[in-house]
Structure formats: C-alpha cells, structure tokens
A and B are shown apart, each in its own frame.
Chain A
Amino acid sequence: MLCTVVCQMSRSDPKLALSQEVIVCPARVFLLELIPLDAKNVASAATIAPKGLSPETSRVTLARWHLKNANNVTCVSIVAPTLHWRCVTMTRSRFLQGNEACALGGIAAGALFFAGYPISPATEIAELCSNLLPPKGGIYIQMEDELASLAAVVGASLSGMKAFTATSGPGFSLMQENIGFAIMSEVPCVIVNVQRFGLGTGIATQPGQSDVMAARWGTHGDHSIIALVPASVQECFDLTIEAFNLAERFRSPVVVLIDAIIAHLRETVRIPEQVNKIERIRPSGPIEGFQPYAPEENLVPVLPNYGDEYILRVTGLVHDQYGYSSANPDVGGQLVGRLIDKIELYSHELPEPEYTGPEDPDVVVISYGISARSALSAAQRGGRQGLSIGVLKLKTIWPFPEQAVTRTCARASLVVVVEMNKGQVLREVKAAGITRAIGLNRTDIRVIMPGEIISFVKERCSCAGS
C-alpha cells in the first residue's frame, strides 16, 4: 500500500543531478519513492509540503496527493540527498524494450485485440499481447499469415474493439492489399512495422529504415496514409498511443514504423496513470435510411460497429454513402478524393517534427528513428567543436511534414537527410523544395554513428573550418 505525492522539479535544479530521472525526462522530472500508506505517513507527508508555491514558480513543488490507485507505483528512484522529504508520483517509470513499450502503448490506448504472425524483429509485441490481453477480456490470436492477421484486425475493429498487429518487412508486404482495403473502407487500426534490413527476407534481426516508401505507396491506388516514426522507447509507447488515437480520429489505418534497433533498445519509459484516449462515437439520428459513409464536416464519417442498430455496410469496392457498391464515376472520384483530403487537409493535427539546436543553424540534419538519435548526439558533439547543427527529428513521416521541413531549412546552408536507406525521405525533402538537400545514407545494417555525421558535415560545410 502506498500513498503518492507528485513532485515537480525544474530540470536545472542542481540538487537533482544525482537522479537518473533527471537525465531521462525532458522538462520536468518526477521523483519516485515508495511510502507505505498509513495515517502517520499521510500526515507527515502533508506537513512537509512547501506552502504557497505554484508549480510554475517553485523549484520544488508539492503538486498533488494521489491516494487512489497508488499501488501502481513500482519504481523507486534516487532522491537528491539534500531534499529532506520523500515524493512519489503516479507516473510509473519502467525500463522497457521498444517492442514492449509499443505493446504497452497499444494496450494503454485501449487496444483489446491483437492478431499477428511471428516475425523478427517484431515478435515480442505479439508475445507480450498474448500474455496481457486475455486477462483484460481481450483477444490475442495467431493467424495463419499476415494477410489473415490484418484481416482479423480489421474485422475486430469493425465489431468495436481497438485492434492492432505487428510485423516486419515481409509481413508488411503481405498486408498491403488489406491496408488499402482498410483505407478504402475507413477502418481504424494500427499496423506496427518493425523494419528489418533489406528487401526480400533481408537479414531478419538487423535494422533498416527502408520501408518508408512501402508504408506510403505499398498498397495500390491513390490514397493517403498516416505513418509515425518513434526514435526512442518512450516514443514507441507515446506514438503507439497516438497512432490509435489518430486511427480513430481519421478512421483510417495508421502505420508505426520502428526500426530493429529502437525496437530492441532498452530505456526508461514514463508511463502515465492516464493517457489521452480517443474513443469511438456512436452515430445519431434516425436509424432508417442511415448512411454510414456520409462524412461529417471534417470529411470523416461516424460509422457504427457491427451489432449496432445502425446498419453498417462495408465493402472495398467503390461505394456510395449507404455503403452500397457503385460503379458511378462521380461516386468513385469523390470517394477517393475525400479519403485523401480527410487526412491531407488536416495533417496539422499530426505529431509535429521536433527541432533541437541553435536558432539559425548552418546545418540542418533531418532524420528519424535510430538515425535521429545519432543526429542529436552529433549535433551536441559538433556544437562543442564549433559546428552549428540543428536536428529536425520527424515523428510523423506520412503525410510528409513539408511545411515544417521547409521552414526549418529555409536559411541553413547545408541540409543533410540521415537515414538507413538509399534516400527515401531525401526525395521528399527535395520534393518539398529543398533541392540542395543531400543524403547521408547507409544500407549495410550498420547504424549511422554520430562521428560519421560530424565528418560528413565537416567535409561539406564551409562553416566547418571556423
């Protein structure tokens, strides 16, 4: 039994230098310590709370008591020795692998259904779901192949369960027809692709970042798709939640593109007690004559689930607003147009790229996934060597965040796109108008190291000598 006090502290507090948590959490930190819940502790903890300080002004502020659900707290961390009182937060920290964080993110987002087929380097996601879902009343099912896995996920979503699957390149290729189907029939679901090296069977356990275009254009036909790219274990958790929310918001499949390094990396992850979840809304209005595919103002329809009195007609054929198939050219044209517009016109709602670096850098490095981690480290080290490098780390890779990219690169003399492929994002950066962008690419399973990025920049940037 525990009682909980949330303590917010500023990062700059030198007293906290000892705490592991300070390094991990970006702006504010939560320090953790277990306190047994009894009347004495509750009282004593209350008396030590600094009075009259707001979270904004205080360096150390006792923010809140959480006496409910306090047994969620699992992690103890070092409290700076000069602090004479103990604090516990509801935000759990766990030391997790990327794949685990992804599975936990999906479950935190409300997923109750996972269908999959084993494949390296994604298998841990399935394994964890097979353990965690049944006790929650959810379903884990191992299907006969990836075609069937995504099909079962789509079916489950239409019956009202948030659902996901996880795979790697070969399985991702097999899923493509059903991804297009899910886009066409507007089925929210999440597909995690833990990218391995190479085409074909590649090297099963080695990393790559070469499924970027497969995620964008793998399925046939004109379409838009949302794809997110975590660069840390924390982002595996956060962006999987985000993926589920976006899937519901846009009623479309969302791809999470992880690479094998991030998927198998272990880092501390903050798992909040409550996550922001978008739940499906039920249609309203008369049941007779209901048109499941009539879009709302934001171009997204409010579809019922199977079993609802509102009747749901789903087909991958071109269909009218009733869901009946149609061969009418106008119906087909408008449908495809709306499916694209409902995402592209609202892409500002998607996670923005994160810029780290000086205000007006000489060099902008655009990267994502494990390569972005190297880029961030390179920028830091390069800074100490007199280089002015800013890093634009993508979180949403599709639709491609053109505006943020052009804005960030506007004045930089050198724009480098760092990725473990032959230049798949580089093409997009150039298409966005940054034609001077150059690529630092690797396709040999080796991670692009910070030193490599620094040398690359030094060789090409006139600013480097200064």
Chain B
Amino acid sequence: MQAVKDIDHYLAHDKLPHMWCPGCGLGSILKQLLLSLAELQIPREKAVLASGIGCSGRAGDYVSFHRFQGTHGRALAFATGIHLADPRLTVICLMGDGDCGAIGLSHLIHAARRNINITAIVANNLNYGMTGGQYSPSTPEGAITSTSRQGKVVNALDLCRLAADAGANYVARSTVYHIFEAQKMLQAALNTQGFALVEILTPCPTYFGRYNKLGSAVDMLEWLKKKTVPLDLFRKMNDEQQQEYFWRGVLAEQNTPDFLTRYRRKELVE
C-alpha cells in the first residue's frame, strides 16, 4: 500500500479525453474528488467509486481505482453492500440529481437514515443530462427543459434537507463555481464516519443552459455564483426570495455512530 500524493495515480489516463461536453462541470467535480482522495492519502486499492447512470455516472471510466456502475438510481443500495461486506473500503457514490433524487430517492433517505458510512456526491445539473435535458425533481419551478417547454410546474426538491432530516452525519452544498469550498466539503465528507452528502451544483450548458438561455459555459458559472447565497443569509430570506436562490454551506455536521458501529455493538438490526 503506497500513499498517493497527486491525482495522477487515480486517473485512467488512457481513457482521456472524457466524453463530457465542453463547459460541463462534471470534470471539475471528478478532479476535486480525486484531489480530496489524494489529500487524505486514501490508497488506490481501498477506494471504490460507485456511480449512477447518467453523464455523471461515466466518471468511473476515468479513474484507475475500483469502480462500480450499477443500475439507474441504485448506486447507494449497491454501495451499502460494498461497504458492509468490507468496511475498510472508502466508498464514494457519485450520482446525478435525477439518479439520486428521482428513481433512487428512497435509497438516499434510507442510507441517510441508517447513517451508513458512505460519501455521497450529487452532481446537480438541474436536469437529466444523459437523456437530453428533461426536468428532474431538482429542476427549479418555471425552468425550461425538453419536457417542460412552458416551464416546470412543481418546485425543486431539496435533497440536502431531506438527507439531513433523515439523519445523515454530514450534509453540505456548493457549486462548481465555488470549487475550493466544494473540495473542502468533499474532504469533510470523506472524513465523516457515517453518511455524508455533498451536493454540487454544476453547469450543463448543453441542455439546461441552452433551454434557459443562460449563455455560454462561463456565463453559467457566473449564473451559479449569482444564484447561490450562503446558508445563513438564505435563512434570513422570506419564502419568495428563497424561491430565487440556492443556499450554499454546511447544513448538518454531527457525530452519530454509523450503522455498522451500532450493528456490531448491539448486534441489533437498525
């Protein structure tokens, strides 16, 4: 087992360039994840990247360590087995907002409720990228997508609040624009013993940006900057204002014993 200092060790160089669109934020998210692994000196053979199905799910093709890509929405359920059968592994789930927030939502709630020792990352591009820009549960109300040409009817689902309420030990949100903040959150999440969720808002210029006339990829980053406010500021806003913004920051940070610790201690189930 050698300690890894830079992210080169974690990258499958021969698989690059990646398939993501120019200006897509997923590459930045992957890079921050790899930097966090390097920073924490997690050995290659002890890390597993379990991804969902979608643009973000392809991240596994670009890493040189253990990877898993299951069925759409089920990454956390597969990862639950991966972790429980070998708790020495650092298990990371990288999911899209559709993957985690629609088809796989119950697994998010239950993973958080169990406080299972997994780091979950939701790359929230506010729509279904892989299938061509349909609305997802996290698409803001009124946003244009290929299946909501007149504007989305229902308001957005806040996955972070859900996970925090369900009992996750660590919950935070940032954006690809605030990438250093995001990296700190990823490290904190990886250091968490228990369930951790980091949601990272990321530009999808190809679909969400184009449909909503948000301009170039750079313009979309600016949009993410303008559209987000720190959590304490957000809390002071009224309902109407809150509809206009996403909060950023750490929503939950606690140290409840994780599922396996409690399971082994009491030999009780859940």
Q: Which residues of chain B are near A324, meaning CB under 8 Å?
A: 12, 15, 61
In the complex the two chains form, is B67's CB within 8 Å of A315's CB?
Answer: yes
Of the residues A144, A159, A307, contact of B81 by C-beta under 8 Å: A159
Inter-chain CA distance A163–B81, complex, in Å, is 9
Q: Which residues of chain B are near A156, meaning CB under 8 Å?
A: 81-82, 84-85
In the complex the two chains form, is B270's CB within 8 Å of A142's CB?
Answer: yes
In the complex the two chains form, is B60's CB within 8 Å of A155's CB?
Answer: no
Q: Which residues of chain B are near A177, meaning CB under 8 Å?
A: 71
Q: Which residues of chain B are near A306, meaning CB under 8 Å?
A: 48, 66, 68, 82, 86, 89
Inter-chain CA distance A197–B50, complex, in Å, is 37
Q: Which residues of chain A are near B60, meaning CB under 8 Å?
A: 313, 315
CB distance from A223 to the nearest CB of B (A): 15
Q: Is B70 located at the chain interface by the 8 A CB criterion?
A: yes
Q: Is B80 located at the chain interface by the 8 A CB criterion?
A: yes
Which residues, 301 to 326 on A, are CB-close (under 8 Å) to B? 305-309, 311-317, 323-325
Inter-chain CA distance A153–B78, complex, in Å, is 7
Q: Is A134 located at the chain interface by the 8 A CB criterion?
A: yes
In the complex the two chains form, is A143's CB within 8 Å of B71's CB?
Answer: no
Q: Which residues of chain B are near A374, meaning CB under 8 Å?
A: none
Q: Which residues of chain A are near B269, meaning CB under 8 Å?
A: 130, 134, 140-142
Q: A134-B267, A316-B70, A324-B15 are in contact. Are A151 and B78 (CB under 8 A)?
A: yes
Inter-chain CA distance A305–B68, complex, in Å, is 12
Of the residues B66, B77, B89, B109, contact of A143 by C-beta under 8 Å: B77
Inter-chain CA distance A316–B74, complex, in Å, is 12
In the complex the two chains form, is A307's CB within 8 Å of B88's CB?
Answer: yes
Q: Which residues of chain A are near B65, meaning CB under 8 Å?
A: 311
In the complex the two chains form, is B45's CB within 8 Å of A308's CB?
Answer: yes
Inter-chain CA distance A120–B187, complex, in Å, is 44
Q: B50, B65, B68, B83 — which one has the most chain A CB atoms within 10 A of its CB?
A: B68
Q: Is A145 located at the chain interface by the 8 A CB criterion?
A: yes
CB distance from B30 to the nearest CB of A (A): 15
In the complex the two chains form, is B89's CB within 8 Å of A151's CB?
Answer: no
In the complex the two chains form, is B69's CB within 8 Å of A159's CB?
Answer: no
In the complex the two chains form, is B85's CB within 8 Å of A151's CB?
Answer: no
Interface flags, A129-140, vs B, CB<8A=1, else 0: 010001100011
Q: Which residues of chain B are near A153, meaning CB under 8 Å?
A: 81
Q: Is B206 located at the chain interface by the 8 A CB criterion?
A: no
Q: A148-B74, A324-B61 are in contact. Are A155 and B69 (CB under 8 A)?
A: no
Q: Is B46 located at the chain interface by the 8 A CB criterion?
A: yes
Inter-chain CA distance A159–B88, complex, in Å, is 10
Of the residues B61, B80, B106, B267, contact of A155 by C-beta under 8 Å: B80
Q: A160, A178, A314 — which one has the most chain B CB atoms within 10 A of its CB?
A: A314
In the complex the two chains form, is B267's CB within 8 Å of A135's CB?
Answer: yes
Q: Which residues of chain B are near A368, meaning CB under 8 Å?
A: none
Q: Is A392 located at the chain interface by the 8 A CB criterion?
A: no
In the complex the two chains form, is A159's CB within 8 Å of B64's CB?
Answer: no
Q: Which residues of chain B are near A325, meaning CB under 8 Å?
A: 58, 61, 69
Q: Is B210 located at the chain interface by the 8 A CB criterion?
A: no
Q: Which residues of chain A are near B85, meaning CB under 8 Å?
A: 112-113, 139, 155-161, 163
Inter-chain CA distance A142–B81, complex, in Å, is 11
Q: What residue in chain A is nearest B72 (Cβ atoms)?
A: A177
Q: Is B176 located at the chain interface by the 8 A CB criterion?
A: no
Q: A141, A163, A181 — which one has the most chain B CB atoms within 10 A of its CB?
A: A141
User: For the side of the interface on B, what is the size category?
Assistant: 35 or more
In the complex the two chains form, is A309's CB within 8 Å of B45's CB?
Answer: yes
Of the residues B50, B68, B71, B84, contact of A178 by C-beta under 8 Å: B71
Q: Is A79 located at the chain interface by the 8 A CB criterion?
A: no
In the complex the two chains form, is B86's CB within 8 Å of A305's CB?
Answer: yes
Inter-chain CA distance A152–B82, complex, in Å, is 7
Q: Which residues of chain A are near B82, meaning CB under 8 Å?
A: 155-156, 158-159, 306
Of the residues A113, A181, A316, contact of B84 by C-beta under 8 Å: A113
Inter-chain CA distance A323–B61, complex, in Å, is 9
In the complex the two chains form, is A139's CB within 8 Å of B263's CB?
Answer: yes
Q: Is B44 located at the chain interface by the 8 A CB criterion?
A: yes
Of the residues A148, A307, A312, contact of B107 by C-beta under 8 Å: A148
Q: Is A115 located at the chain interface by the 8 A CB criterion?
A: yes
Inter-chain CA distance A25–B152, complex, in Å, is 68
In the complex the two chains form, is B80's CB within 8 Å of A143's CB?
Answer: yes
In the complex the two chains form, is A160's CB within 8 Å of B107's CB?
Answer: no
Q: What residue in chain B is nearest A309 (Cβ atoms)?
A: B45
Q: Is A246 located at the chain interface by the 8 A CB criterion?
A: no
Q: Is A262 located at the chain interface by the 8 A CB criterion?
A: no
Of the residues A141, A144, A313, contact of B66 by C-beta under 8 Å: A313
In the complex the two chains form, is B81's CB within 8 Å of A115's CB?
Answer: yes
Q: Is B110 located at the chain interface by the 8 A CB criterion?
A: yes
Q: A141-B269, A307-B46, A325-B61 are in contact. Are A317 and B86 (CB under 8 A)?
A: no
Q: Which residues of chain B are near A161, meaning CB under 8 Å?
A: 85-86
CB distance from A320 to the nearest CB of B (A): 11
Q: What residue in chain A is nearest B68 (Cβ atoms)?
A: A314
In the complex the two chains form, is B67's CB within 8 Å of A155's CB?
Answer: no
In the complex the two chains form, is B110's CB within 8 Å of A178's CB?
Answer: no
Q: What residue in chain B is nearest A181 (Cβ atoms)?
A: B71
Q: Which residues of chain A are near B74, meaning CB under 8 Å?
A: 147-148, 151, 178
Q: B44, B58, B60, B70 — which one has the most chain A CB atoms within 10 A of its CB?
A: B70
Q: Which residues of chain B are near A323, meaning CB under 8 Å?
A: 67
**Interface residues, chain B, with chain A CB atoms under 8 Å away:** 12, 15, 44-46, 48, 50, 58, 60-61, 64-71, 74, 77-86, 88-89, 106-107, 109-110, 263, 267, 269-270
List 29 contacting pairs A-B, 8 Å CB cutoff, sorted by A: A134-B267, A134-B269, A143-B110, A148-B80, A151-B71, A151-B74, A152-B81, A152-B84, A155-B83, A158-B82, A159-B86, A159-B89, A178-B71, A305-B86, A306-B66, A306-B68, A306-B86, A307-B45, A307-B66, A307-B86, A308-B45, A311-B64, A311-B66, A312-B66, A313-B60, A314-B70, A316-B71, A317-B69, A325-B61
Q: Top 7 nearest A-B pairs by Cβ distance? A: A155-B81, A151-B77, A159-B85, A152-B81, A148-B77, A156-B81, A156-B85
